[in-house]
């Protein structure tokens, strides 16, 4: 039985691809390929009129200020469609600049207000300093619910931490309707206060973590894929486990580096 | 840190400027300050070398600037043939070295800042080291200054160069400077301070070419070749028109966003160039090209390989043309050129030749990969990734590098450095088999292992980020396999 290809909609790949965001697409597609599952990556660019009803997974990365400003208006027109599908369970991952635009609005430090698409009940305020560094966060209870038995795909499903790198000046504040994705263990996180990181609404994930996020957090990659496949009625769940030794070692190394890097850099400078 | 530093230095500089207008008394204080600054910097330089703290490129300049904030402009202003400033993301060091060989061949004594010390303190260090307490100005004829992109506004407040070369603008060390648009704005701010300087610009890089709009004295270099075209779609850093923001179209793309571009909206297009490579032949041990120079066709031969090095050579020739240097002198200079620090430097051990390739950003990495993967099959390569400040602490950029040619070309890849495990994942997702990658976090052991895996008579390509390169070099210098840089390089 051949499955129709899983359709990954990559939002604004030309403008929102700053911090190795492509790594997330590479991780998703390779993990499908290794399982013998077909996929298709559809780039959505300014001026396109995509049919989000056909999307199985959404991804949006971060961008330069100019790029983010430019795409905000285009994204806004797609907002109602995206919100409708996310409410219907469409999995999505929005990183950094994309995450900011998935909230209600981004009020920049320069005084502009970029419209958001209100997938997350959250807003972002521009800050005066950049929050830069390795980050470790622990998945919140809400997020830990993912690993329902039907999703367990090998050892990496046991991971409860997220590792990556943050680089943002915007501070994101979550409101009542959206719980945090994770609790910061090392780093600054959403509001720069070292408390919460990222947002979770239904199957949509927002986060400041790049690095890229998905290759060394394979549990998140497999969660997104599992949800996408389940929504499509794929019968082969749980996903066949992959040999994730390399990914798990990178996860552990990033965790270790985050804990030591701060002091290391103090000595270096 | 850099941001606040710069503001502080600016403030000190402005204060000094105000005071300096108050008369001879204070001007005499300025001379005394310069004298003290030179003396202090010389001592710092002596001690930092004596204590084995490297070439002493930053500290003397830092101290001298604290004592005499205007010292950069004062000393640079005394160079009889003025100065050349080189900036841009990639190729600063190699094109500067090429320019220095050309200038020396033209009989000029050249003062350079060295060893990647391209913040203002690095320039000041070079200037004070060349000055004497008894002769408080540099002894050379012309200055050749590599300037970090973000430092351009600050340096250009004091230095008024004859020529400013901008090599290219790629994404680099994002966690330090932010984004390519901001970098372009900083360079623009810097060059605005020198309206009479000749701008030498890469015609094939849209963001660089746009710096020449509204400038009268510009000289463009570029490539017009049918033989070269880009293989990778990754790491296209600047695909929008720098003038109007519309998506650019490329008639031909050589690599990343470098090529013959056109904006369909506003009509901004790749400008015609004065120093232009037409017929290009790339090989493992060098490259050759036909180049128009001062309106005539000339043959360029160099032992540097890789398309990016062709651009470095073109940049150097364009600067030579801006300085009215005759073709034979310029080409002889390039032929005599030796590799720069960590850029295609070679050493040998037990009949194997090691070649060091510095990689700093996606485009540079892609270019090196293309260069080392294009030729005959070799058994092994060594790839090193560190994430110290000078490497950029954010390693996400390796996900914008296309490693597939490397995976296809080398049966074994030894991976090392602080973030070797991230490299291992990256290569797995680029198609490397589980037996194909070997992780050895310790750089010394990784080098030994990779050299052993290379067959006698073969060469080992080492692709490494900056601080891992410094570490490897230091080991090779200790074992006598490489010369020490600041001693080996004559500081005339």
Q: What structural domains and CATH numbers belong to chain A?
A: 6-266 (3.40.50.880)
Residue B75 is predicted with a pLDDT of 84
Residue A266 is predicted with a pLDDT of 45
CA pair distance B257, B235, nearest whole angstrom: 8
Q: Determine, yes or no, domain membership for B216.
A: yes
- Answer yes or no: A219 catalytic: no
CA distances to B49, B167, B452 from B222, rounded to whole Å, are 41, 11, 41
Tell me which of B75 and B275 has the higher pLDDT: B275
Residue B412 is predicted with a pLDDT of 96
Query: Is the confidence at residue B37, as pLDDT, over 90?
Result: no
CA distances to B6, B361, B376 from A66, rounded to whole Å, are 25, 21, 43
Q: Determine, yes or no, domain membership for B309.
A: yes
Q: Catalytic one among A104, A210, A223, A251? A: A210
First to last CA, chain A: 59
Taking the whole predicted model, whether its pTM rises above 0.95 is answered as: no
Can you give the CATH number for the domain in which B176 is found? Answer: 3.40.1190.10
Contact yes or no for A187/A232 (Cβ under 8 A): no
For residues B111 and B186, state if they share a domain: yes
Last residue of a domain, which of B307, B336, B365?
B336
Residue B358 is predicted with a pLDDT of 92
Which residue of chain B has the CA closest to A213?
A: B396
Residue A24 is predicted with a pLDDT of 97
For residues B323 and B355, state if they share a domain: no
For residues B159 and B296, state if they share a domain: yes
SS3 for chain B, per residue? CHHHHHHHHHHHHHHHHHHHCCCHHHHHHHHHHHHHHHHHHHHHHHHHHHCCCCCCCCHHHHHHHHHCCCHHHHHHCCCCCCEEEEECCCCHHHHHHHHHHHHHHCCCCEEECCCCCCCHHHHHHHHHHHCCCCCCCCCCCEEEEECCHHHHHHHHCCCCCCEEEECCCCCCCHHHHCCHHHHHHHHHHHHHCCCCCEEEEECCCHHHHHHHCCCCCEEEEEECCCCCCCCCCCCCCCCECCCCCCECEEEEEEECCEEEEECCCCCCECCCCCEEEEEEEEECCEEEEEEEECCEEEEEEECCCCHHHHHHHHHHHHHHHHCCCCHHHHHHHHHHCCCCCCEEEEEEECCEEEEEEECCCHHHHHHHHHHHHCCCCCCEEEEECCCCHHHCCCCHHHHHCCCHHHHHHCCEEEEECCCHHHHHHHHHHCCCCCCCEEECCCHHHHHHHHHHHCCCCCEEEEEECHHHHHHHHHHHHHCCCCCCHHHHCCCC
Tell me which of B47 and B488 has the higher pLDDT: B47
Answer yes or no: do B400 and A265 touch at CB < 8 A: no
Query: Is the confidence at residue B16, as pLDDT, over 60?
Result: no
For residues B122 and B194, state if they share a domain: yes
Smallest Cα distance from B172 to chain A, Å = 11
Residue B378 is predicted with a pLDDT of 85
Residue B2 is predicted with a pLDDT of 35
Last residue of a domain, which of B318, B336, B354?
B336
Q: Determine, yes or no, domain membership for B143.
A: yes
The size of the A-B interface in CB pairs under 8 A is 99
Question: Which tokens in the block code for residue B152?
Answer: 């351009």
Q: What is the average pLDDT value for chain B, to the nearest integer?
A: 85
Residue B68 is predicted with a pLDDT of 79
For residues B332 and B347, state if they share a domain: no
Task: State the total domains in chain B.
Answer: 2
For residues B92 and B187, state if they share a domain: yes
CA pair distance B435, B427, nearest whole angstrom: 12
Q: Name the residue among A66, A130, A212 with its Cβ closest to that of B396.
A: A212
Residue A90 is predicted with a pLDDT of 97
Contact yes or no for A114/A106 (Cβ under 8 A): yes
Compute the average pLDDT of residues B226-234.
70
Share of chain B above pLDDT 90, in %: 52
Q: Catalytic one among A96, A168, A219, A251? A: A96
Residue A187 is predicted with a pLDDT of 95
Residue B175 is predicted with a pLDDT of 45
Name the residue range of residue B77's domain. Answer: 59-336
Any residues with CB less than 8 A from the CB of A39 and at least 6 apart, and which?
A5, A6, A7, A8, A28, A29, A32, A33
Contact yes or no for B241/B268 (Cβ under 8 A): yes
Compute the average pLDDT of residues B332-339.
88
Residue B485 is predicted with a pLDDT of 61
Contact yes or no for B342/B354 (Cβ under 8 A): no
Which residue of chain B has the CA closest to A62?
A: B179
Compute the average pLDDT of residues B298-315.
92
For residues B405 and B455, state if they share a domain: yes
Q: Determine, yes or no, domain membership for B17.
A: no
Residue B215 is predicted with a pLDDT of 92
Compute the average pLDDT of residues B441-470.
94
Question: Which tokens in the block code for residue A133?
Answer: 């560094």
Smallest Cα distance from B476 to chain A, Å = 22
Answer yes or no: do B418 and A257 touch at CB < 8 A: yes
For residues B385 and B309, state if they share a domain: no
Q: Would you call B422 an interface residue with chain A, using a CB distance cutoff of 8 Å?
A: yes
Answer yes or no: do A250 and B424 touch at CB < 8 A: yes
Q: Would you call A30 an interface residue with chain B, using a CB distance cutoff of 8 Å?
A: yes
Tell me which of B231 and A75 has the higher pLDDT: A75
For residues B321 and B240, state if they share a domain: yes
ipTM here: 0.95
Tell me which of A125 and B22 has the higher pLDDT: A125
Compute the average pLDDT of residues B342-355.
89
What secondary structure letter does DSSP report for A74? H
Residue B365's pLDDT band (cuts 50, 70, 90) = very high
Answer yes or no: do A19 and B434 touch at CB < 8 A: no
The tens place of each residue's pLDDT in chain A, 269 residues long, gives 467 899 999 999 988 887 889 999 999 999 999 999 999 999 999 999 999 999 999 999 998 888 899 899 999 999 999 999 999 999 999 999 999 999 999 999 989 999 999 999 999 999 998 899 999 999 997 776 665 555 666 778 888 999 999 999 999 999 998 999 999 999 999 999 999 999 999 999 999 999 899 999 999 999 999 999 999 999 888 889 999 999 999 999 999 999 987 554 444 43
Compute the average pLDDT of residues B192-214.
95
Answer yes or no: do B419 and A23 touch at CB < 8 A: no
For residues B330 and B362, state if they share a domain: no
Last residue of a domain, which of B320, B336, B352?
B336
Q: Determine, yes or no, domain membership for B486.
A: no
Query: Is the confidence at residue B310, as pLDDT, over 70?
Result: yes
Smallest Cα distance from A204 to chain B, Å = 22
Residue B122 is predicted with a pLDDT of 83
Query: Is the confidence at residue B20, as pLDDT, over 60?
Result: no
Q: Would you call A133 an interface residue with chain B, using a CB distance cutoff of 8 Å?
A: yes
For residues B431 and B282, state if they share a domain: no
Alpha helices in A140-199 (DSSP H): 141-144
Compute the average pLDDT of residues B325-351.
89
Range with the poorest average pLDDT among A147-156, B19-28, B240-249, B330-339: B19-28
For residues B120 and B232, state if they share a domain: yes
Q: Using one digit for the tens of pLDDT, what is the confidence trace for B387-412?
A: 998 888 999 999 999 999 999 999 99
Q: Determine, yes or no, domain membership for B11.
A: no
Smallest Cα distance from B299 to chain A, Å = 39
């Amino acid at each position: 039985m051949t499955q129709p290809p899983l359709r990954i909609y990559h939002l604004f790949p030309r403008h929102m691809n700053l911090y190795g965001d492509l790594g997330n697409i590479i991780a998703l597609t390779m993990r499908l390929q290794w399982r013998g599952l077909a996929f298709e990556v559809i780039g959505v660019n300014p001026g396109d009129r995509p049919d989000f009803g056909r999307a199985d997974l959404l991804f949006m990365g971060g961008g330069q200020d100019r790029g983010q400003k430019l795409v905000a208006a285009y994204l806004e027109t797609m907002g109602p469609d995206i919100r409708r599908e996310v409410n219907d369970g469409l999995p999505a991952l929005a990183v950094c600049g994309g995450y900011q635009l998935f909230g209600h609005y981004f009020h920049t430090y320069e005084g502009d207000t970029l419209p958001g698409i209100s997938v997350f009940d959250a807003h972002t305020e521009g800050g005066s300093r950049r929050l830069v560094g390795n980050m470790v966060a622990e998945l919140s209870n809400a997020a830990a619910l993912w690993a329902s038995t039907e999703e367990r795909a090998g050892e990496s499903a046991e991971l409860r931490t997220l590792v990556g790198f943050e680089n943002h000046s915007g501070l994101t504040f979550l409101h009542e309707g959206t719980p945090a994705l994770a609790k910061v263990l090392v780093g600054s996180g959403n509001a720069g206060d070292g408390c919460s990181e990222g947002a979770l609404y239904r199957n949509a994930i927002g986060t400041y973590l790049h690095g890229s996020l998905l290759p060394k957090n394979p549990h998140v990659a497999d969660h997104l894929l599992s949800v996408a496949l389940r929504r499509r009625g794929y019968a082969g769940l749980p996903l066949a486990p992959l040999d994730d030794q390399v990914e798990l070692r990178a996860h552990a190394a990033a965790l270790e580096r985050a804990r030591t890097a701060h002091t290391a850099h103090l000595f270096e400078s | 840190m850099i941001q606040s530093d710069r503001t502080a230095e600016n403030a000190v500089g402005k204060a000094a400027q105000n005071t300096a207008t108050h008369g001879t008394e204070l001007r005499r204080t300025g001379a005394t300050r310069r004298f003290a600054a030179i003396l202090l910097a010389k001592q710092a330089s002596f001690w930092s070398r004596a204590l084995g703290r490297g070439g002493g490129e930053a500290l003397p300049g830092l101290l001298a600037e604290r004592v005499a904030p205007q010292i950069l402009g004062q000393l640079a202003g005394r160079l009889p043939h003025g100065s050349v400033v080189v900036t841009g993301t990639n190729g600063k060091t190699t094109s500067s070295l090429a320019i220095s060989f050309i200038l020396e061949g033209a009989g000029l004594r050249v003062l350079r800042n060295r060893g990647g010390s391209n913040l203002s303190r690095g320039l000041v260090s070079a200037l004070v080291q060349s000055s004497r307490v008894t002769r408080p100005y540099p002894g050379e004829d012309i200055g050749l200054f590599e300037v970090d992109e973000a430092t351009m506004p600050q340096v250009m407040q004091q230095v008024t160069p004859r020529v400013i070369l901008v090599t290219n603008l790629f994404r680099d060390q994002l966690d330090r400077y932010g984004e390519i648009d901001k970098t372009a704005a900083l360079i623009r701010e810097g060059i605005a301070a020198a309206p009479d300087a000749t701008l030498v610009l890469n015609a094939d890089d849209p963001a660089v070419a746009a710096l020449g709009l509204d400038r009268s004295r510009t000289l463009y270099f570029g490539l017009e070749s049918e033989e070269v075209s880009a293989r990778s779609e990754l790491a296209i850093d600047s695909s929008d028109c720098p003038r109007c923001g519309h998506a650019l179209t490329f008639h031909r793309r050589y690599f990343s966003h470098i090529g013959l571009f056109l904006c369909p909206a506003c009509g901004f297009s790749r400008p015609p160039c004065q120093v232009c490579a037409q017929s290009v032949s790339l090989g493992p041990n060098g490259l050759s090209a036909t180049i128009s120079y001062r309106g005539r066709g000339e043959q360029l031969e160099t032992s540097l390989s890789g398309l990016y090095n062709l651009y470095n050579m073109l940049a150097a020739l364009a600067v030579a043309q801006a300085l009215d240097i005759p073709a034979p002198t310029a080409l002889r200079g390039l032929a005599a050129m030796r590799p720069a620090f960590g850029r295609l430097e070679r050493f040998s051990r037990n009949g194997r030749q090691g070649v060091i390739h510095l990689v700093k950003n996606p485009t540079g990495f892609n270019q090196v990969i293309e260069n080392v993967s294009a030729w005959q099959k070799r058994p092994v390569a060594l790839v090193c990734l560190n994430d110290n400040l000078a490497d950029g602490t954010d390693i996400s950029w390796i996900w914008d590098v296309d490693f597939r040619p490397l995976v296809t070309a080398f049966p074994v890849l030894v991976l090392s450095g602080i973030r070797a495990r991230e490299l291992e994942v990256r290569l797995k997702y680029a198609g490397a088999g589980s037996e194909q990658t070997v992780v050895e976090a310790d750089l010394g052991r990784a080098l030994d292992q990779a050299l052993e895996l290379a067959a006698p008579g073969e060469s080992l390509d080492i692709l490494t980020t900056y601080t891992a390169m410094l570490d490897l070099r230091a080991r090779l210098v200790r074992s006598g396999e490489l010369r020490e840089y600041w001693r080996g390089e004559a500081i005339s």
